[in-house]
Amino acid sequence: MCKENQKIKVILCKPNETAKAIEIENSLSSLQEIVGGIIQVIYPFSDEVGIVANDEGKLLGLPLNRGLKYDNGNLYDILCGDFLVVGLGEEDFCSLSPELMEKYLYIFKYPEMFMRVNGKVICIKGELQ
């Protein structure tokens, strides 16, 4: 279990940048500073991970970042602004295990672009040169 204000290893995803592993302080103020406002936590995966994002990211018009997809690859949501992938402890956030760090760095590694085609939003993953 990770205590408040202890350092944890997480993944930072910024729009138009490669995802990277970072170490942060496990505190509300640190999380809010990184995402730029009030945090929201979503749990789109079956693994013990959460995504910490800005709760008002879409309302504030933050840049589109990464898409969330169903198992069949269809897009169902787009995360806006900077976000973190964190491990889930019994009562709070914790470091990602090495296996989860590797898995989610792979999933979120490259930035994505979004386009509307025939009334449908599509997601294009791009590699940085």
What is the arithmetic mean of pLDDT over 108-125? 88
* Per-residue pLDDT tens over the stretch 60-107: 999 999 999 998 888 899 999 999 999 999 889 999 999 999 999 999
pLDDT, tens digit, 9 for 90 and up, residues 92-103: 999 999 999 999
Average pLDDT over residues 18-42: 97
Q: Which residues pair with 51 in a beta bridge?
A: 42, 85
Q: Name every residue whose Cβ is closer than 8 Å to that of residue 81 and which is 6 or more positions away in sequence.
A: 15, 35, 36, 53, 54, 57, 60, 62, 63, 65
pLDDT at 120: 84
